[in-house]
Structure 1
Amino acid sequence: MKKTNIAIVALLASTMLVSSCASKKDLVNCQTENRELTANYQDAKEKLAASQARVSSLEDQLAQAKKDYASLQGSLDKSLNNANANNINISKLVDQINESNQYIRHLVEVKSKSDSLNMVLTNNLTRSLSKEEMKEVDVQVLKGVVYISLADNMLYKSGSYEINDRAQETLSKIAKIITDYKDYDVLIEGNTDNVPVNTAAPSMKNIRNNWDLSALRASSVVQYLIDHFGVAPKRLTAGGRGEYNPVASNDTELGKQRNRRTQIIITPKLDQFMDLIDKAPEESNNK
């Protein structure tokens, strides 16, 4: 019996010893796990705080982005409005340019037509003149105007403004050209050299200077064209330029001879060009 009690006591002591060892190991394990959980919790807490800060920053950026978007949208709307207004102005400008281009083309066509008519006129005149007449007649077209220059000795009596018999044939050919081209006006322009007129000569009675002489000679040609060839007076103008429009130097006899001339200037009627100017496209006040 006594041996049995001793055995039981020994067994209980052994069991308590084993239980004590197991509990200590669990405690160590729990402490280790607790430290790990605490570390994980602290790390998660820090990460959460960082995430919240990031979210707050993103929210601020989003709010700023919305403001920037609203500003850009306003600028875009304003630009679109300005673009629409500019498109309207550009459209008007294009219309004005097209009108101006059409007007310019019309002027070019008229100018080309005028040049062509002048060339035909010149050719017709030069073909009608004889070789002898061409020696004393110079025909040119300058800037759309026909200039027929006649030497004074083929038109006037010596030292006078009266038309001579020789001039009739030449003036008849010029009169035909003038009559054929009814849309042209004609200026008869007298010119002299710089030698003073001999006022003592009977033919120069009441003539004060070269200007008087040049004007009277031009008037004589005008009157001759009207009286002998029926040229309409309203188409003719007589003018004198005296010695003040030389084409050569008066220092030589040949130069003086060239300066003593009468020019018949045939030009398109001015009112035709004035009509074209009146038809020019008006500039728009809308800019």
Structure 2
Amino acid sequence: MLAKQDSLNNGWTESQLKNEELERLLNKLRKDTSNINGQLADLRGRYADMDANYAKLRSNSSSEINKLSDDLKKREQRLKEVEEVLRKRDEATNQLKEKLQQALLGFTKNGLTVEIKNGKVYVSLTDKLLFPSGSIVIDEKGKQALTQLANVLKLQPEINIAVEGHTDTQKVNNLGQIKDNWDLSVLRSTSVVRYLTEVEKVESVRMTATGKGEFQPLGPNTTADGRSKNRRIEIVLSPKLDELYDLIKQ
């Protein structure tokens, strides 16, 4: 019976040890379960936030897409309007060129040309058509050409007029107040402007006079023919583009 009691005591002790071990495992499981529940709650909260953000983003994206679509339509409309203004400008420029060619036909043999460059009409008159050699005083043949030109310009009030004087590279000598080619080019252009405004009554507000000197040649200054081409007055006619500028500003 003592042996049996010892055996029972040992079994009881082992049972108590196992029970303690099971208690520890149970506590650990309870703690792990609590941690997992906390993590699960946190994940559910994050998921809810993400779902709300996704819904908001989707709503905002739809709004942004609609806004971009509206902006694109407005830009396309403005582009069409700009293209229409440019088409009208080109059409008016071509019509102006034809009118000038007809009006100035009798002067083409004397070195007058009419052409379109960069949306503008260029009327080029060699110096021998307008001025005596080394002079800034317009001769009779030049006045006739400018009168014909003015008759067309007065019927085109929407056209701006720039008069450019050009020279060759030959040095200016013994011309009194005229010191160099800069002076000569500027004074010749202002002579043309004064004739057009004071005699032919073209509106002064439309006119600009500039001197380019020898720095925009058409031909080589090493030959007489090249120098003759370079000595010229260019009258640059450009349509007013107020409508186009207003469209671009919008």
Aligned residue number for residue 108 of structure 2: 133
Say if 1:149 and 1:237 are closer, same or farther in 2 by CA, change over 3 A.
same
1:225 to 196, 208, 214: 196
| CA distance 1:134–1:267, change in 2 (3 Å) | farther
Aligned 1:36-47 pairs, distance under 5 A: none
From 175, 179, 182, give the equivalent of 2:157.
182
Cα distance in structure 2, aligned partners of 1:163 and 1:187: 18
Contact 1:138-1:148 within 8 A present in 2 as well: yes
1:173 aligns with 2:157: no
Superposed counterparts of 1:36-75, under 5 Å:
75=50
- The residue that corresponds to 1:242 in the other structure is 213
What is the Cα deviation at residue 273 of structure 1? 3.9
- The equivalent residue for 1:59 is none
Structure 2: give runs of 5+ residues left out of the alignment.
1-36
Q: Identify the residue that residue 31 of structure 1 maps to in structure 2.
A: none
Residues 85, 228 of structure 1: CA spacing in aligned structure 2 closer, same or farther, 3 A cutoff?
Answer: same
SS at match of 1:239: strand
Residue 245 of structure 1, CA deviation:
1.2
How far is 1:236 from its partner? 0.9
Superposed, 1:109-148 pairs within 5 Å as: 109-133=84-108, 136-148=111-123
Structure 1 position 216 matched with structure 2 position 182:
no
Query: Whole-Å Cα distance in 1 between the matches of residues 126 and 94 of structure 2?
Result: 22
Q: CA RMSD in A?
A: 2.2
User: What are the within-5 Å matches in structure 2 for residues 76-87 of structure 1?
Assistant: 76-87=51-62
Percent sequence identity over aligned pairs: 32
Q: What does residue range 26-37 of structure 1 map to in structure 2 within 5 Å?
A: none
Match of 1:266 in 2: 237
Cα deviation for residue 276 of structure 1 reads 2.9
Residue matched to 2:80: 105
Distance in 2, Cα, partners of 1:87 & 1:271: 38
Shift in alpha-carbon separation, 1:135–1:72, aligned structure 2, 3 A: farther
- CA drift at 1:161: 0.8
Instruction: From the superposition, tell whether residues 192 and 274 of structure 1 become closer, same or farther in structure 2 (CA, over 3 Å).
Output: same
Q: How many residues are treated as equivalent by the alignment?
A: 211
Question: What secondary structure does 1:166 align onto?
Answer: helix
Cα displacement (A) at 1:277? 2.8
TM score, norm. by length of structure 1: 0.68
The aligned residue for residue 21 of structure 2 is none
Find the partner of 1:149 among 124, 132, 157: 124
Task: Decide which structure has the larger Cα Rg and report it.
Answer: 1
Inter-partner Cα distance in structure 2 for 1:118 and 1:270: 12
Among residues 79, 83, 88, which one is paired with 2:63 in the alignment? 88
Gaps of 5+ in 1: 1-62, 281-287
Question: What is the TM-score with the length of structure 2 in the denominator?
Answer: 0.77
Instruction: Give, in whole Å, the separation in 2 of the partners of 1:275 and 1:117.
Output: 19
The amino acid that maps onto 2:191 is S
Alignment match, 1:205? 176
* 2:137 aligned partner: 162
Which residue identity is paired with 2:228?
A: Q
Structure 1 residue identity aligned to 2:114: V
